[in-house]
Amino acid sequence: MPNLATGERHNLWSEHAAELAEVYTRAASSVRFSLVTRALLSELGERSHSVCDIGGGHGQQALLLARRGHKVTVVDADPAMLALAQRTIDTEDSSVRRSVTLVHADGQDPQLLASETFDAVLCHSVLMYEQNPAPMLRTVARLTGDGGLVSVLSVNPESAAMRPGLQGRWRDIVLILRGLDPCTDSYPTSNHSRERVTNLLRENGVSVQKWYGVGIFTDHLTEPVRAADPADVFEAEWQAGLRDPYRGVARCYHLLGRRERLTIGLTTP
């Protein structure tokens, strides 16, 4: 196992890519993507923007934005995920296909995209695979133009007992609340609190201005959501994700911030 003390990187995705790719594409629900996209569009508005999606994987988020006229660059270190994204992009109309660029690269590469900056930089469901989130967040800040939007979605460790609780996994609940790992989730994660990520972003010149809870009432479900009107499910999740106490027990937190200024001499905590 890599040793952080020696500067080696510990990335859970690269260590478990074969099984994680299938699990992620199956588990990342349309409800989650719809909620995140609604929050993004509320900030981006109608004008076309340049967007960089770090760890954009199979391209679902990129396509949702490209269909609204935004130009999206997807960066991912997993060629299998990019191949999946390309197959999906190829089914879109020409205007959408031209709006999405795929880049095979590590999001922590200090030379990533050279001196290019973007109107918005996304880092969704990425930090959960990094034992140390600081280098990735530095990249996010560096690629964001002055006044640009930063969007981070990550697993909320404060709600760790909620999914097993709603699924009736009582022993797992007890272990989690005692600070132990039940080791029953289908894939490993390295979770970072909202406060820590907010502080790291601030150190890199990004001020978090809003945050949402994502996955409050539906995250625990293993079957498709059943509802007379699917729009009610989406609206219930959206409204709850805007306010306390509901957003505090959501599976994920979604941070939206703005790049304040170019910061020099950043350090890794």
Position 8 in a domain: yes
What tokens appear for 68 in the block?
A: 């609204």
Position 180 in a domain: no
Position 95 in a domain: yes
Domain that holds residue 229: 4-155+191-259
pTM for this one?
Answer: 0.85
**Span 31-40, average pLDDT:** 94
Burial 38-65 (b: 16+ CB within 10 A, else e): ebbeeebeeeebbbbbbbbbbbbbbbbb
pLDDT exceeds cutoff 70 at 96: yes
**Span 139-156, average pLDDT:** 97
CATH of the domain at 127: 3.40.50.150
**Span 191-210, average pLDDT:** 97
pLDDT tens string 230-247: 899 999 999 999 999 999
Distant-in-sequence, close-in-space partners of 166: CB < 8 Å, separation ≥ 6: 220
pLDDT exceeds cutoff 80 at 26: no
Residue 182: what pLDDT? Answer: 77
Q: Binning pLDDT at 50, 70 and 90, where does residue 185 land? A: low
What tokens appear for 165 in the block?
A: 């609780």
pLDDT exceeds cutoff 90 at 46: no
Q: How far is CA 232 from CA 41, 139, 227, in A?
A: 20, 37, 8
**Span 103-114, average pLDDT:** 89
Position 268 in a domain: no
Position 181 in a domain: no
Position 236 in a domain: yes
Position 160 in a domain: no
Identify the residue with better confidence: 254 or 114: 254
Residue by residue, DSSP assigns 79-129 as HHHHHHHHHHHTTS-HHHHHTEEEEE--TT-TTTTTT--EEEEEEES-GGG
Identify the residue with better confidence: 247 or 58: 247
Count: domains in the chain: 1
What tokens appear for 79 in the block?
A: 């060629």
Position 94 in a domain: yes
Cross-sheet strand order for the sheet of 100-104: 100-104, 71-76, 50-54, 118-124, 144-155, 252-259, 206-214
